[in-house]
Chain A
């Protein structure tokens, strides 16, 4: 999908991969709506995108809050136009240090599912119908290898990402005839606050730069039509993006 001239919505855009991806989409000519719970980092990201000549709108809201979802979808479409690219990037790890499932509180599992699975379901429900009637659009979920591998202590997060991938796979099947496409993208291990929260003391030099990953994901967006809808893909960083694959 050509990014230039499109409207994109990125959740969790206040820092890390979400901020980098919002900046990358804006640099490629999209009008970008940034969503995050805390206003300040979000405003900073939006300002830096605008300073670089991009179009950015910042909405402070919690994607895990059912009552906020119609407002997120409505404000985004009002400000940037009907949404063409929806990126579910906001994620919740649950309490850190990460815990074994037997040590995980029921409420903590529910909270992680609410943020990483139910939130994306609601937001997609509020946005993808209009995409389908217009005959196109892309819904992208940021996932993790924790969705595939049963890493001990990554239970709540891993389960939520596995479910998110399957949600997007089923959505891809249901809307196969409409032109709306769904993808799960595994960004790999990145130098972000979330990664350091999960693995304190990780060596940053072994981790990918979110800006490089954002470029790789934007490349995927641009060739989304070549990928089967619902597919799980890795954001492989090419030599051109600065880091050897």
Chain B
């Protein structure tokens, strides 16, 4: 499938593939049709994480230009990140030069005296490092926003600004890549849905890296991700489920947050946590009935997650249909709604 190579004009005009696991049907629609496709009483849960400028150009101890892609925050000034050798997003990640190995105590420099010290390398890969920044608090956020750029991949035709990757309801900057399923949701659509009696709730989920080009690292994705489920969302979900209403997740991150926050009996708990939950065939969702998401290729971890909601056969047909009918892939691409109609 071809990727969308840049942000497009009106997101409501983007395509939406309806995947109905109950009727085993596929139908073509547009994002704006969600206004009619969702039903009064449905609860739509979005990820309100803002996207960080998580790609930081840096200088290695040997003086080489490297790129640090932030993965997750451990403490205010302690982060996991993946190191890439010389080059930038224009080179496909799998062709990027490997960085020189870095040992605990060695320093990365970001310029103007700003730096970070390697604390440890992950057993998963020597490129996955935990780093302690010199700066913390306001100074660290200022450094990230001044030096960082949005993480992006080589199929895009231009460099992205932070404005390009924020959803229309972005709040705390926890995501290192855009939680892109929510990207096409314009406020005109959200307000129209609200008027029709569709309810909304939020989680904050630290969407992580989707690819590093390093086969060992990629096999370990998604790495543990931070999430927060507010009490208001627990109340809304509890109400919806008690009344037999549908809970629709916007994006795989919302599925992971809600299913991670649920007890085995399906009771949802408010609060923050870290999840390494990997959904797949055989996982019975306890909270979520379906999801709005991108188009996911068979074999990827996102495709595996969808198998918790639909049979592989239907999802493979969906991918094939989307490909034959000119749907576009990736974060600025088209969407699918996997939900029983």
In the complex, are the beta carbons of A75 and B145 less than 8 A apart?
A: yes
A78 is an interface residue with CB less than 8 A from chain B: yes
Q: How far is the CA of A135 from the CA of B171 in the complex (A)?
A: 13
In the complex, are the beta carbons of A70 and B172 less than 8 A apart?
A: no
In the complex, are the beta carbons of A71 and B145 less than 8 A apart?
A: yes
Beyond A70-B163, A73-B50, A79-B137, is A129–B169 a contact (Cβ under 8 Å)? yes
Q: How far is the CA of A170 from the CA of B75 in the complex (A)?
A: 41
A58 is an interface residue with CB less than 8 A from chain B: yes
Beyond A74-B50, A75-B145, A79-B137, is A130–B170 a contact (Cβ under 8 Å)? yes
**A132 smallest CB distance to B (angstroms):** 7
Interface size class of B (residues with CB under 8 A): 20 to 34
In the complex, are the beta carbons of B187 and A130 less than 8 A apart?
A: no
**B40 smallest CB distance to A (angstroms):** 15
In the complex, are the beta carbons of A126 and B138 less than 8 A apart?
A: no
Q: How far is the CA of A63 from the CA of B136 in the complex (A)?
A: 23
Beyond A59-B138, A74-B173, is A133–B145 a contact (Cβ under 8 Å)? no
Q: How far is the CA of A177 from the CA of B137 in the complex (A)?
A: 36
In the complex, are the beta carbons of B163 and A57 less than 8 A apart?
A: no
Q: How far is the CA of A133 from the CA of B162 in the complex (A)?
A: 21
Q: What per-residue 1/0 map shows which CB atoms of B273-295 lie under 8 Å from chain A?
A: 00000000000000000000000
Dominant SS among interface residues on chain A: helix
Beyond A71-B146, A82-B172, is A133–B46 a contact (Cβ under 8 Å)? yes
Most buried by A among B46, B145, B162, B195: B145
In the complex, are the beta carbons of A130 and B169 less than 8 A apart?
A: yes
Contacts A75-B173, A77-B172 known; 11 new A-B pairs at CB < 8 A? A67-B162, A71-B146, A75-B145, A77-B171, A78-B141, A82-B48, A82-B172, A134-B230, A135-B232, A174-B191, A177-B195
Q: How far is the CA of A74 from the CA of B138 in the complex (A)?
A: 11
Most buried by B among A69, A70, A83, A177: A70
Q: Which residues of chain B from 134 to 186 have a CB within 8 Å of any chain A CB?
A: 137-138, 141-142, 145-146, 161-163, 166-173
Q: How far is the CA of A245 from the CA of B170 in the complex (A)?
A: 41
